[in-house]
Amino acid sequence: MKEFDITIVGLGPAGGTLANLLAMHGFSILILDKEKSFYPLPRAVHFDDEIMRVFQTIGITKDFLKYTIINKGTKFVNSKQKVILDWPRPKKITDNGWYPSYRFHQPDLEKQLRKKLKSYKKVFIEQNANVVKIINSKNNVNIKYLNSINNKIFYIKSKYLVGCDGANSITRTQIKTKMDNLGFTQKWAVVDLILKKNKKNLPDRTIQYSNPKQPATYCRNVGRRRRWEFAIKKNLNDKKVLSENYIWNFLKPWIKKSEAILERKTIYTFKSAIARKWRKGRIFIAGDAAHLMPPFMGQGMCAGIRDASNLAWKIASCLRIKHNEAILNSYQSERSLNVKEYIETTMRMGEFVNAVESIQITKNISSNDQGVKSMQSIKPKLGKGLGQLKDKNRGKIFPQFKLNKYKNFDDYFSKKAVLILSSGIKTKVSKNYSLLEAKSLKNLSIYLKNINSKAILVRPDRFILGSANSGKQISSLIKKNSFILR
C-alpha cells in the first residue's frame, strides 16, 4: 500500500492552491480528481488582492498575470438605469501588494496551478479517480478509490486528507456532516459569450440590474469574454430558459446573435450554506465542500483559496513537528466566521439585486453630493482560534511591504513565521524562525507605531498571530507560539 503525507480530493482552484502551498515544503502529495482533465469552460471569473498574494506565494503570478485584467468595480442600477449604488475598485495597489480586484478565465488559472505542480517530484495526480471510502485512524487516513476508466480499485494511506471536492463532496459525506442553509436559494441562468469583435457600447464594469421583474448581472471578463446572469421566474422550465431563442431574446438589449459566439449556458441554484463540521480526525473539507455562497460578490472561489492558505501551513506544521489538535481545530473556528461574513454580505447584495433597495448590504456605505451611495469592500478578521482575542492586532492581514528596490516581504518570507521588531527592542533570536528588524525600513516602523506595537508575530499565511510592547511580552509571545516558530 502506497503512503503519502497528504491526499487532496479534487483539483479545482482550492485543491490546486492547497497542493502547491504544501508542495513548497517538500511533502509527498497525492491528488485524486474524478474528472478526465480540468473543465475547459468558464466558471469562476473574479478574485481579489488577497488571493493574488496567495498566487504570488506559490509562484504563478508572473505567467498568470497576462491572462487577467484589472476589474474596475460594480455598479447597481435600477429599472430606469439609474445608478443606486456604486462599488468602485480603484486602480491602486492595496496593502496586499496588488490591485483590489481582477477578472480571469478559470481554465487559465487551473493550467498555471497544474503546470507548477508538475515541477514538484513528490506530487502525484490521478485523474478519473473516484473516492469510494475514507477511514480515519489514529495516525493516518485509509483511502479506497476507483479508476473510472479501467475499473481498478486502489488502496492508499495518507497522514492527512483534505476534500476540495465541491458542493457534492464525497469527503463531506464520509465525515457525516450536514450543510446548514443560511437562507438564500435562487435559480439563475448563466450565459457566457465570446464577442466576434470588440463592442464598445458594452459596459467596462460589472453591472447589477436591480429589477424586481428581471434581476440580472453583466460581467466584463477577460479578452472578448462577457457573461450575463439572470434570475429564472418560477413559472419557467429549465429547458425553455436554456433554449437559444429565449437566451438571445433576453440578450437583445445588449447584443445581437450575429455579434457573439455562445460559449456556455447553464443553470445554477445559488445557495448560501455552511457545513457544521469541517474536520474529523485527520480528514478536512475546504472550498465548496465546506461552504456555498451566491456569486454577487465574486467571493466563492476566493473563500476556498483562503481555506487552503489557512490550512496549508497548519498541516505543514503538524507534519514537520508533530500532530497538534489545537492548531488543527483552529482551522474551522478561524475560517467559518470569516467566510460567514462574506456569505451574509453576499446574501444582502443578492436581495439588493432583487430590488429590495432598502436593504443595508454593509456598514461600509457612504453617499456623495448627488445622493449616489458608494460601497467599500469588506475585509473580515479571522474568527476565534490561534492567538489572544483581546489582542486588537490579532487576525488582521499583515501588509506586504517593500524590503528593498526589487523584493517585497512575501518574496523573502513564504514558509516560516516572522517575528518583526521595532527599533531598540532586544530579544533572543532562534534559528527556527525568521526575524525582521524595522529599524532600516521606514514604512514598517511607521506601521508598528500606528498599530501601537513594538513587535508582531506574522503567521505563514500573512495574518498577525499576536503583538507585544515589551521584552517580557515578546518572550511570552514566542513561548506560547513555539509550535509555529520551528
Q: Is the pLDDT of residue 359 over 70?
A: no
Q: What is the mean pLDDT of residues 4-21?
A: 98
CATH architecture of 409-480: 3-Layer(aba) Sandwich (3.40)
User: Residue 228: left (phi > 0), alpha (psi -120 to 50), or beta?
Assistant: beta
- Buried b or exposed e, range 425-446, using 16+ CB within 10 angstroms: bebeeeeebbebbbeebeebee
d(Cα 100, Cα 48) in Å, to the nearest integer?
A: 6
Helices 300-320 and 13-23, interaxial angle, to 10°? 30
Question: Which three cell numbers, joined as nine digits, stand for 358?
Answer: 432598502
Q: Is the pLDDT of residue 211 over 90?
A: no
Residue keyed to cell 517575528: 419
Q: What pLDDT score does 181 carry?
A: 95
Q: Is the pLDDT of residue 92 over 60?
A: yes
Q: Is 287 exposed, middle or buried (CB count within 10 Å of its CB: 0-12, 13-18, 19+)?
A: buried
Span 241-272, pLDDT tens digits: 999 999 999 999 999 999 999 999 999 999 99
| Residue 422 pLDDT grade (very low, low, confident, very high; cuts 50, 70, 90) | confident
Q: What pLDDT score does 377 carry?
A: 86
Average pLDDT, the chain: 91
| Residue 213 pLDDT grade (very low, low, confident, very high; cuts 50, 70, 90) | confident
Span 426-462, pLDDT tens digits: 666 555 567 788 777 888 889 999 999 999 999 999 9
Q: Is the pLDDT of residue 224 over 90?
A: yes
User: Which amino acid does the sequence have at 465?
Assistant: L
CATH class of 2-66+104-177+276-331: alpha beta
Q: Are 281 and 126 in contact (CB under 8 A)?
A: no
Which residues of the chain are in CATH 3.50.50.60 domains?
2-66+104-177+276-331
Q: What pLDDT score does 458 carry?
A: 94
Q: What pLDDT score does 154 carry?
A: 97
Q: What pLDDT score does 471 carry?
A: 81
State what percent of residues in the chain have pLDDT above 70.
94
Q: What pLDDT score does 428 carry?
A: 63
Q: Are 107 and 38 in contact (CB under 8 A)?
A: yes
Q: Are 126 and 33 in contact (CB under 8 A)?
A: yes
Which residues of the chain are in CATH 3.40.30 domains?
409-480
Q: Which residues contact 451 (CB under 8 A, 6 or more apart)?
A: 392, 393, 467
Q: Are 29 and 126 in contact (CB under 8 A)?
A: no
| Residue 364 pLDDT grade (very low, low, confident, very high; cuts 50, 70, 90) | low
Span 58-89, pLDDT tens digits: 999 999 999 999 999 999 998 888 888 889 88
User: Which amino acid does the sequence have at 80?
Assistant: K
Q: What pLDDT score does 368 carry?
A: 64
Q: What is the mean pLDDT of residues 148-177?
A: 97
Q: What pLDDT score does 349 carry?
A: 86
| Residue 366 pLDDT grade (very low, low, confident, very high; cuts 50, 70, 90) | low
Question: Which three cell numbers, joined as nine digits, stand for 145?
Answer: 478509490
The predicted model scores a pTM of 0.95
Q: What pLDDT score does 429 carry?
A: 57
